[in-house]
Structure 1
Amino acid sequence: MGIAEVLQWNLSLFLLILFRWAGMIMLAPVFGARGVPTMIKLGLAGSLSVVIYPLISATHPLIPTELLPYIAVVVKEILVGLVIGFVIYALTAIFQGAGQLLDFQMGFTMGASIDPVYGVQSPMMGNFQMVLATMLLLATNAHHYLIVALVKSYAYIPINPTNLPGGYLYYAQLIGHVFSLAIQLAIPVFGALLVSDVGVGLLSRTVPQLNIFSVVFPVKIIFGFILLFLAIPFFGESVSHLFNLNMSWILQLYQGWKQ
């Protein structure tokens, strides 16, 4: 093999590694934030690709030299990164779903704001929980585990995988887990506010002379914030548990992809 062929093979391999990292960073929380400039994302993907390149090149993966087969491999690598990023994004969806339930119960539904991370309309409580969870994850270096998770993907899903991500049951179960965990995360505050609504309804029926609904909404908001404040000491443990679940989902994805 001549120098030109060696350079072509190394450059082709580096680009394939870069495309997988870029696909993951595009969707993963923290890395894929809209506020992060595109050049920063590309620079991060390129830097991580340079670091992981010696490990992947040591396996000497087969890379097609023709243009069309190589484009097909590029599409595969981008798809691998996007799928992994989508599974990691499920962690964000849990906090957003829990925040949506809290907003509905506290009366903040009409005050949904623009999420500065992803640039879409999102619940206020969802933004609060996501920002708090992101701070906890960064403070505990949990984002390092996200990088390790993608590095481990090469042990299960090599360059130019022979199969594409199947198993529709896995994705259906993943969505079901996101909904159920969002409800579980919001149910302490949501349930307490629901019980308070029942109490207010009984009080208004018992003493109809009281104009209870003129004061119930601000009191309900204050009560909701008090409950959220009391729940903050337990929030870190919830974030840790959800992050561990998210890592197990990624491992299940890898194992199912390899079969």
Structure 2
Amino acid sequence: MMVELLPAFPAFLLVFVRVTSFFLMMPLFSYRSIPTAAKIGIGFFMAMIMVFTFDLPAIEIDHNYFLLIIKEALVGLMIGFIAYLLLSAIQIAGGFIDFQMGFAIANVIDPQTGAQSPLMGQYLYTIALLFLLTVNGHHLMLDGVFYSYQFIPIDQPWIPFGDPNLAEFIIKTFNSMFIIAFQLSIPVVGSLFLVDIALGIVARTVPQLNVFVVGLPLKIGVSFIVLIIVISVLMIVISQLFETMLSTMRGLMELIGGA
């Protein structure tokens, strides 16, 4: 086994760098709750399987080899980041909802990333991750890592950063993130906008009523009622978000590979 692995060691190292770079940014696999040793171990065994599955070209360790290592790390980071960027739409949607509900001042620390996140954003994000595991979305992300070599050859020495299509693709992905966040938040935000209009009318017609005291609990109650009603519709939008994430990963691989 070791004798067979020695000639393929340079290719194995390149595959290992790409896989572990994926795991550094990819949703689910990049979280702090997963031990670093487990991430490295999964990447190691997955790289071994991929080396003996693909017909990889013979690669020698020379001055170009270090450029290939940097390229593989950048490929993994870019594709993992584009997947994480789209899933961030759920957190942004929660931020929109929290701002209207009055929860924007009460952020929580996300134990997975260590960053502050809105309350409703964390709630929706947790449900989305459970839904992602239910539909085996993590398997599809690993498939993306596995089949990335069909689009980006291991011996390709560069990433076409100067390609205008690549920059346009990333900008459109960034734009799609905000569009999906708006679609996720519009039922609750729209309902709260109507509540604000109703409270404004009440404040003008009944000046004795303190709308600042009544408004906050009313908006919180309406938000939870609307959220319970539309949660199934939000799951449909989130499932479309997963499809968009996987197709975006594939499109970015094609652009990097020059397809």
TM-score higher than 0.5 = yes
Q: Structure 2: how far apart are the matches of 1:31 and 1:162?
A: 27
Name the structure 2 match of 1:257.
256
- The answer to which of 47-56 and 37-46 deviates more is 47-56
- The answer to which of 166-175 and 131-140 deviates more is 166-175
Choose from 71, 76, 86 the match for 1:76: 71
Name the structure 2 match of 1:211.
210
Name the structure 1 match of 2:35.
37
Name the structure 2 match of 1:232.
231
Q: Structure 1: how far apart are the matches of 2:249 and 2:38?
A: 25
Name the structure 1 match of 2:120.
125
How large is the Cα RMSD of the aligned pairs? 1.6
Name the structure 2 match of 1:140.
135
Q: Secondary structure at the match of 1:250?
A: helix
Q: Structure 1: how far apart are the matches of 2:232 and 2:91?
A: 19
Any conservation in 1 of the 2:24–2:30 contact (CA below 8 Å)? Answer: yes
CA offset at residue 65 of structure 1? 2.1
CA offset at residue 91 of structure 1? 2.8
Q: Secondary structure at the match of 1:76?
A: helix
Q: Secondary structure at the match of 1:110?
A: coil
CA offset at residue 174 of structure 1? 1.0
Post-superposition Cα deviations, 1:68-110, rounded to whole Å, max 9, x if no partner, equal: 3222111111111001101111232110110110111111111
Structure 2 residue runs of 5 or longer lacking an equivalent are none
Name the structure 1 match of 2:59.
63
Any conservation in 2 of the 1:156–1:255 contact (CA below 8 Å)? Answer: yes
Name the structure 1 match of 2:44.
46
Post-superposition Cα deviations, 1:191-232, rounded to whole Å, max 9, x if no partner, equal: 111111111111101111111221210121121111111122
Instruction: Return the letter of the residue paired with 1:229.
Output: I
Distance 1:165 1:218, change over 3 A: farther
Name the structure 2 match of 1:105.
100
Any conservation in 2 of the 1:204–1:212 contact (CA below 8 Å)? Answer: yes
CA offset at residue 180 of structure 1? 1.3
Instruction: Return the letter of the residue paired with 1:64.
Output: E
CA offset at residue 171 of structure 1? 1.0
Q: Structure 2: how far apart are the matches of 1:110 and 1:122?
A: 11
Say if 2:7 is the partner of 1:12. Answer: no
Structure 1 residue runs of 5 or longer lacking an equivalent are none
CA offset at residue 163 of structure 1? 2.9
Choose from 50, 69, 81 the match for 1:86: 81
Q: Secondary structure at the match of 2:113?
A: coil
- The answer to which of 20-29 and 214-223 deviates more is 214-223
The alignment's TM-score, normalised by the length of structure 2, stands at 0.93
Size of the aligned set, in residue pairs, is 253
Distance 1:134 1:7, change over 3 A: closer
CA offset at residue 8 of structure 1? 4.3
CA offset at residue 28 of structure 1? 0.7
Q: Structure 1: how far apart are the matches of 2:143 and 2:170?
A: 22
Q: State, as a whole percentage, how many aligned pairs show the same letter.
A: 35
Distance 1:21 1:122, change over 3 A: same
Any conservation in 1 of the 2:184–2:234 contact (CA below 8 Å)? Answer: no
Write out the 4+ residue segments of structure 1 that deviate beyond 4 Å after TM superposition.
none
Instruction: Return the letter of the residue paired with 1:138.
Output: L
Any conservation in 2 of the 1:84–1:250 contact (CA below 8 Å)? Answer: yes
Instruction: Return the letter of the residue paired with 1:63.
Output: I
Q: Structure 1: how far apart are the matches of 2:234 and 2:37?
A: 34
Any conservation in 2 of the 1:77–1:160 contact (CA below 8 Å)? Answer: no
CA offset at residue 7 of structure 1? 5.0
Q: Secondary structure at the match of 1:109?
A: coil
Name the structure 2 match of 1:197.
196
